Structure 1
Amino acid sequence: MTRKVMHAVWYTGYGGGAAGLKHVEIPIPAPCKDEILMKVEAASINPIDWKIQNGFARPVLPKKFPFIPLSDVAGEVVKVGPGVKKFKAGDKIVATLGGPSAGGGLAEYVVAKESLTVPRPREVSAADGACLGIAACAALHSLTVTGGLKLEKTKPRTNVLITAASGGVGHYAVQLAKLGNTHVTATCGARNIHFVKSLGADEVLDYRTPEGAALKSPSGQKYDIVVNCTTGIPWSTFKPNLSPTGKVIDITPSGGTFWNCAVQKLTFSKKQVTPLLVNPSAQEIGFLVKLVKEGKLKTVIDSRYPLSQAEAAWAKSIEGHATGKVVVEL
């Protein structure tokens, strides 16, 4: 590789939204011990990326400015650092850069840790692979680790509710839940009802209707697991719809989530809300890549943008109505 600089997009302070992104030419990073230099072919945007820009974790994140956002990427190995044994130049890979606080993905090249990188088979496109970090891992972790769901057709049946099921996390959660012995109820906007049904949901509610707002299952199901992918739904709405030991897993927890969680533990409540706190792992991403390869899971991409139009991709994600994922391709 003869190039020494690369095109990247960063922001230099809090706020500004899409207008706060700046296109720059900066040196290509070099891999250190146990690291891989990859040419980025695709990167996906997660809401946490622009929430950090908005000051969601101020002043802790980002750790410093200027900051190159995005942490879910896919591409090709250019060079490996000392100690790297699993990969070589030319290998196709999927990587997470250590969570949204790490960043670096909105650039032509990025350094990834070998421990957070997995091989990408030819059946999995770069765009598909780049979406399997935060969003798909959140769906998987919610259902299997926090929710205890087995992704196999074993008994007894589990009743699952997934809110905002047409979004980045939700569309994965529906598909993953249906790998198990489940009845899946989902909520979304009216325009996405047929789409969510096509993912496998057994019944779908328009969240704008009275029934949808109340989360009432049309067939009278009481939910054992709820993957809550939206905000603004109070515990008082979830509680009457839960089975005796039902659990709500909140992927965007607020202060109220943590408060209710603490109270329920203190009072030994069998119905609980649990905040999801998870960083993607190579093991989980590798499992998800395998499902995509086998045709058991698909990534739905709402829109694709070149790096030169990163601002448009950023604005699309902030808008909040994407069906599936927003991807930047290089």
Structure 2
Amino acid sequence: MKAFIIDRYKSRDGLRAADMPVPELRDDEVLVEIHAAGVNPIDAKIKDGEFKLILPYRLPLILGNDLAGVVVKVGSRVQRFTPGDEVYARPDKDRIGTFAEFIAVNEGDLAAKPESLTMEEAASLPMVVLTAWQALVERANVRPGQKVLIHAGSGGVGTAAIQLAKYLGATVATTTSTANIDLVRSLGADVIVDYKQEDFETVLHDYDVVLDPLGGDTLEKSLRVLRPGGTVIGISGPPDPDFANELGASWFLRLAMTLLSYRIRKQARRRRVNYSFLFMKASGDQLRKITPLIDEGAIRPVVDRTFPFESTREALAYVESGRTKGKVIVTMR
């Protein structure tokens, strides 16, 4: 099958087209013919080796973390799906590889594709809606009337998280550039901070939850807009000891993550707020909970550009440029 792979991290060749074998099915897996795949910043980070300590992939590696497609074969223990079913998913972290014609996905990671969406639209959602759900519903337990700040509101995670937070009944603030104000307002943002014109920490106060996909200075400033007891959930790091425990990391990685997050956790304690690192997980069960919200129109996909499969390298380069609004998609069929 045709695929786009990396042979080694930080290679000068980067992502390249290759012929790879069609994956062999395990008993609990489903073989999916991929029709469209989402392109995410994590793809670039994996390519550059940023996760090689916590995600020790065997190279060569097919990249890609979002898919929509059609089931063509199922393992002997699969009960939920049959050939011909239209599905979407974020494969588990150790079974990625959606920049390809086929992929084997654990049954538990798949969900039926939303009926209201095209394949391209469906492929844009799994990673970002799961991230938003795990941050706002599972981790923060956002309730009606709370105040939630979503950074980078025009990005992939931001566009999904604004809509989900609004659905949950929160007052939603977001940061974005001047050019994207109309977009984030159309998604439901109540308070919009144009980061080119003003600093969010000077205008926002007493927030219950902050979702931060940016890290760095933005993460530190976010601590200062929270009410006492509030929480910043970071998805760009630094990883914290809870994540190390969840990962079952070695003592070395546990120590490294403790040290990496020491400063931000100390600052959070001083301000009587919380810092939590989120590395989203694949979950077909959660996608099945989210799918009705999509079909009802509470969450809609935001697709910036669509590239043909043979232009996957260009699609990833466009994502790396940081200029995207919502998601970028590659289409196989």
TM-score normalized by the length of structure 2: 0.87
Q: 1:251, 1:276 within 8 Å by CA — same for their partners in 2?
A: yes
Match of 1:287 in 2: 289
**Identical pairs, percent:** 31
Deviation at residue 312 of structure 1 after TM alignment: 0.8
SS in 2 for 1:27: coil
| Matched AA of 1:202 | D
SS in 1 for 2:31: strand
Q: Note the residue ranges of structure 2 that are not aligned, 5 or more in a row.
A: 240-258
| Matched AA of 1:63 | Y
Deviation at residue 262 of structure 1 after TM alignment: 4.2
Is 1:38 matched up with 2:32? yes
Match of 1:206 in 2: 194
Deviation at residue 57 of structure 1 after TM alignment: 2.0
SS in 2 for 1:323: coil
Match of 1:124 in 2: 117
SS in 2 for 1:178: helix
Q: Note the residue ranges of structure 1 that are not aligned, 5 or more in a row.
A: 1-5
Cα distance change on mapping 1:215 and 1:14 into 2, 3 Å = farther
Deviation at residue 43 of structure 1 after TM alignment: 0.8
Is 1:11 matched up with 2:15? no
More off after superposition, 252-261 vs 302-311:
252-261
Match of 2:249 in 1: none
Cα distance change on mapping 1:203 and 1:259 into 2, 3 Å = same
SS in 1 for 2:175: strand
Is 1:114 matched up with 2:93? no
Cα distance change on mapping 1:236 and 1:121 into 2, 3 Å = closer
Q: What is the correspondence of 1:1-330 to structure 2 with a 5 Å cutoff?
A: 6-16=1-11, 19-59=13-53, 61-99=55-93, 101-150=94-143, 154=144, 157-212=145-200, 214=201, 216-217=203-204, 221-233=205-217, 236-254=220-238, 258-260=261-263, 262-263=265-266, 270-330=272-332
| Matched AA of 2:102 | Y
> C-alpha deviations, 1:2-51, integer Å up to 9, x for none?
xxxx111111011147x422212222223220111111011111211110
Could you tell me how far apart the structure 2 residues matched to 1:171 and 1:189 are?
Answer: 14
Q: 1:132, 1:289 within 8 Å by CA — same for their partners in 2?
A: no
Deviation at residue 269 of structure 1 after TM alignment: 5.8
SS in 1 for 2:232: strand
Cα distance change on mapping 1:43 and 1:215 into 2, 3 Å = farther
SS in 1 for 2:64: coil
More off after superposition, 309-318 vs 222-231:
222-231
SS in 2 for 1:31: coil
Tell me which protein shows more helix as a share of its residues. Answer: 2
More off after superposition, 249-258 vs 175-184:
249-258
Q: Number of aligned pairs?
A: 313
More off after superposition, 255-264 vs 25-34:
255-264
SS in 2 for 1:20: coil
Cα distance change on mapping 1:148 and 1:264 into 2, 3 Å = farther
Could you tell me how far apart the structure 2 residues matched to 1:84 and 1:276 are?
Answer: 30
SS in 2 for 1:210: coil
Cα distance change on mapping 1:140 and 1:59 into 2, 3 Å = closer
SS in 2 for 1:320: coil
SS in 1 for 2:314: helix
Q: 2:29, 2:74 within 8 Å by CA — same for their partners in 1?
A: yes
Could you tell me how far apart the structure 2 residues matched to 1:67 and 1:52 are?
Answer: 10
Cα distance change on mapping 1:231 and 1:208 into 2, 3 Å = farther
Could you tell me how far apart the structure 1 residues matched to 2:223 and 2:114 are?
Answer: 43
SS in 1 for 2:208: strand
Q: 2:95, 2:105 within 8 Å by CA — same for their partners in 1?
A: no
Cα distance change on mapping 1:188 and 1:8 into 2, 3 Å = same
SS in 2 for 1:285: helix
Q: 2:162, 2:189 within 8 Å by CA — same for their partners in 1?
A: yes
Could you tell me how far apart the structure 2 residues matched to 1:84 and 1:282 are?
Answer: 14
Cα distance change on mapping 1:207 and 1:286 into 2, 3 Å = same
Could you tell me how far apart the structure 2 residues matched to 1:211 and 1:109 are?
Answer: 45
> C-alpha deviations, 1:86-145, integer Å up to 9, x for none?
11111111122202x432111011111111111124312222222232221111111112
| Matched AA of 2:156 | G
> C-alpha deviations, 1:254-298, integer Å up to 9, x for none?
268722454368x58631221113312111111222211111101
| Matched AA of 2:60 | P
TM-score normalized by the length of structure 1: 0.88
